[in-house]
Structure formats: structure tokens, C-alpha cells
Amino acid sequence: MKKLFLMAVAALMAIASVRAQNPGQFFLKPMVGGTLATVTGNSDNKMKFGFVGGFDLGYDFSDNFALTLGALYTMQGAKNDIGGDGKMDYINVPLLANVYVTKGLAIKAGPQVGFMTRAKDEDEDIKDICNKVDFSIPVGLSYEFSNFIIDARYNIGVSKIVKGASSGRNSVIMLTVGYKIPLN
């Protein structure tokens, strides 16, 4: 997994060639959107819709490369065939490399750590049996126009949700809309 991630980052940096950003600029990007989430390892699990909101703080290092550090409240979990509803909410902190492949279009990837704030199965609190920290690898695309940014990500779960479990990782699709505010 580590080799695949490093190869992807190297490939993203190699294909970036078009000038799209403002080097030396810090920016803040508040954003809101939705998630489609599930938990891997159980064929009965279905996608569940949720809310995501927060912000990214970024820096444009060059015309085609930026880093962002975010803080996002993310509703995750899964539904199952018999109508059960597992709710898991996190404060996710992604660190993403943004490689601009053409004006406004960025490919992004990096590590993310999530801190569990809630875990319920139906009305039963299950936070005690869950790992409080969740690691994942977000990969995605974003497109910027007139300082508005549409961002689509897929968070690949790396760590298991339940302590001592043999499977069960978060799998989250996120779609957000944000606004880029220059800070300098």
C-alpha cells in the first residue's frame, strides 16, 4: 500500500506542467457537502448518506503544486439489508498534495487521520468497542472557477473500525463545494 501511494504521488508530480495557481499564496477554503459511506468487510452493508463540513488551509508552493491541511466534520457509517443504521462521526484531518494538471483542475492525494466523535448502532452506543483514531488515504479531483471549488474525494480506509476485528474499514465518497479565500 505504501509503495502504491508513493508511486501515485510521483506520477501526479510528473504530469503537472500547466500554470494554474498563485505561488507563495496562503488560502482558506470553507466547504460543505455530502458523503456516501459504508463499512467494508460485510456484504450486507449499504451506502449511507451524510453531511461533511469544515475547511482547508492551503499554500500554493508553485504554479502547479499546493498543500492543504483540513479539519472536517464527517458523518460516516453504513446501512444494512434489514434496515439497521450504523452512525460513526469523525473530525477528519487530511493533509493533501494538490497537483494542478491544467488550469483549475487538481489531482489530490495524501494521508488523513480521523478522530471518532460518535459511534452508534441503531440507538446503542458502541464507541467503547471502536478504535478512536481512524487512518485513511483520500484521493480525488477538484476544479476551481472564480474562487469556487468543487471537490470529489474517495477516502480509502486503512485502519479497522472495531478493536480486534479482522475486517471493517471506512469507505467514504465525499463531494463538497467550497470558496477559496486568499490570506495574503
For the stretch 128-166, pLDDT in tens is 999 999 999 999 999 999 999 999 999 999 999 999 888
With contact defined as beta carbons under 8 Å apart, do 34 and 56 qualify? no
**pTM, rounded to two decimals:** 0.85
Beta bridge partners of 50: 35
Q: Low-confidence residues of the chain, pLDDT below 50?
A: 12, 14-20
Calpha distance 172→155 (Å, rounded): 5
pLDDT value of position 19? 39
SS3 category, 41: coil
Q: What angle do CA 98, 12, 99 make, to 5 degrees?
A: 20
Calpha distance 20→143 (Å, rounded): 11
With contact defined as beta carbons under 8 Å apart, do 118 and 134 qualify? no
Chain segment 48-63, per-residue pLDDT in tens: 999 999 999 999 999 8
Q: Locate cell 496562503: which residue?
A: 26
Q: Report the candidate in 102, 128, 103 with the shortest Cα–Cα distance to residue 116.
A: 128
Calpha distance 155→171 (Å, rounded): 6
pLDDT value of position 42? 78
Q: 161: exposed, middle or buried (C-beta count within 10 Å: 0-12, 13-18, 19+)?
A: buried
Q: 60: exposed, middle or buried (C-beta count within 10 Å: 0-12, 13-18, 19+)?
A: buried
pLDDT value of position 41? 85
Q: Locate cell 478493536: which residue?
A: 163
Q: Report the candidate in 96, 104, 99 with the shortest Cα–Cα distance to residue 71.
A: 96
Report which residue type is found at 179: Y
